[in-house]
Structure 1
């Protein structure tokens, strides 16, 4: 289902959508990683932002 950009609630901010270029760019910048590293982390642990952040911190970048 497409991302509804008119609804910007809390749940939208807790999930990472790899299908939206701006989300990949913004989340990668937030975590200080490359887009490829972010995509690999999402594939490893799912799209929950907290889980992705914990995975990236634990991976030793």
Structure 2
């Protein structure tokens, strides 16, 4: 499936779904981080966007 990633919006803007590569790419752009870094945050604090954002900011 060819998806225009630039116009992608997550169905649940409060939660990151780590099994969806398009959604991971979206959140990497939003947070300005790599997928590896995003996965580290997900492993550390779970899938809630606010928690991931705080963890990324705290561990820069």
Aligned residues between the structures:
50
User: Is there any run of 5+ residues in structure 2 with no aligned partner, and where?
Assistant: 1-10
Q: How does 1:1-61 map to 2 (within 5 A)?
A: 8=11, 12-60=12-60
Q: Distance in 2 between matches of 1:21 and 1:49?
A: 16
Q: Distance in 2 between matches of 1:55 and 1:33?
A: 12
Q: Distance in 2 between matches of 1:28 and 1:39?
A: 10
Secondary structure in 1 aligned to 2:18? coil
TM-score (ref. length: structure 1): 0.79
1:21-59 per-residue CA deviation (whole Å, 9 max, x = no partner) reads 011000011000000100110010000000000000000
Question: RMSD over aligned Cα, in angstroms?
Answer: 0.7
